[in-house]
Amino acid sequence: MSDVDVLIIGAGLIGSATAWHVARGGVSVMLADASYPNAGASGQNAGSLHFQIERRFLENGDQLAQEAARIVALNRLAIDDWGGLEEALSADLHLRRDGGLMVAETPEELDLLSLKVQREQATGLATRLLERGDALQIAPYLSDRVIAAAFLIHEGHADPRSVTPAFLRAAMAAGTETRFGTQIAAIQGNRPGFSVTLRCDGREERIAAAKVLIAAGAWSAQIGALANLHLPLFPVALTMNATERVAPLIPHLIQHVGRRLSMKQTHAGNILIGGGWPARLRRNALGGFDPGLRPEPIEQSRTDNLQAAVATVPAVANMNLLRSWTGVTAITADQLPLVGEVPRLPGLFVAAGGSAFTLGPTFARLIAQQMLGHKDAKTDAALAIVSPRRFEHLNGFMG
């Protein structure tokens, strides 16, 4: 049996970033993934850095919107973390932060946008509400239908295919051991520590780990079950679109308070169009959803997404659609991420459930602090809203 201080399950953004932070802390780290690095949502997303409260928190009633406003504290930390990332990793992440606009078209949408801005400003986020004329001065490419916009200078985007590999290279340079194409077959709590069985090419190996992080995205709930835990994470399938490469047009991240929409232009010139439009999860032989299978596209999602894009930025109507793709991520019942130590199993941590690209570097840094024993009041307070403790009642019967 091999011994390791920290075992991290999942070689996406959070897993790789946490491995880097922990390895630099002088402990031994193993990073295991059933597939290859960045294979899941970390590499399939569109790379948005949305520090304003997202529309998905606004479309399901005022109570959820109020709860979501508490996540702004993490957003503020993430703004700083992204600011120093390229230098810290010595890597070009194609990071661009020219600001983001969330637009409104109707008086009702403007009311919702105004309330959102008030909540953000009350928590220290420097969002500004712009009237139509001011919004068009910043973004003249917007449609005449836009009557107002919330603007935050810190928003932008980065390249998902550059970020995770940069973290992984840094983690390996710091001494992280990697095991790719390796499944987790069993997790047994030893109080203290864990005995974890790895399976690769039909052979099994037991690892003794003092601490374990589950950062396996849509597979995290299945990994949690191996430790006899309910991790309330549910796979969801989403659709993304990309246009042909065009001349510079959209320097900002664009969102819409009344429509499912996110838009940005990559360093290569493609316009990426998404915003939470569904695809259809595939099922396994037993009838359950299988996050390992590529979701089926839904034509109506693509059509409606592109219509929303054209209505917001009319110039998109003249562009050719290069490709559409689907991917799988995971959400919780309250749509907030699930990040931190599991109270029932001290030493077992989880990080999954939404906002994992925008907040991923921050989650990794804060979790690493806790795993290294550097707990402090600020870290605990920052992670309190997303802590697994809020779902601990689900494990009251697990024994």
Which residues are 2's β-sheet partners?
Answer: 207
pTM beyond 0.85, yes or no: yes
CA 310 to each of CA 76, 85, 174, 215, 314: distance values in angstroms, whole numbers, following the listed order: 31, 33, 46, 36, 5
CA 89 to each of CA 9, 84, 92, 163, 164: distance values in angstroms, whole numbers, following the listed order: 22, 9, 9, 9, 11
Which residues are 177's β-sheet partners?
Answer: 30
Q: CA nearest 134: which of 113, 154, 148?
A: 148
pLDDT digit string (tens) for the chain, length 399 residues: 569 999 999 999 999 999 999 999 999 999 999 999 988 888 889 899 999 988 877 776 677 667 777 788 899 999 999 999 999 999 999 999 999 999 999 999 999 999 999 999 998 999 999 999 999 999 999 999 999 999 999 999 999 999 999 999 999 999 999 999 999 999 999 778 999 999 999 999 999 999 999 999 999 999 999 999 999 999 999 999 999 999 999 999 999 999 999 999 999 999 999 999 999 999 999 898 999 899 999 999 999 999 999 999 999 999 999 999 999 999 998 889 999 999 999 999 999 998 899 999 999 999 999 999 987 787 788 889 999 999 999 988 776
How distant is the alpha carbon of residue 122 from its chain centre? 24
**Domains of the chain as residue ranges with CATH:** 2-43+161-233+334-395 (3.50.50.60), 97-156+234-330 (3.30.9.10)
* Cis, peptide link before residue 297, omega less than 30° from 0: no
Query: CA-CA distance, 37 to 24, in Å (whole number)?
Result: 20
Query: CA-CA distance, 6 to 208, in Å (whole number)?
Result: 9
Q: CA nearest 291: which of 57, 7, 60, 44?
A: 44
**Six-digit token pair at 398?**
């697990």
Q: For residue 296, give the 3-state DSSP assignment.
A: strand
Query: CA-CA distance, 80 to 92, in Å (whole number)?
Result: 17
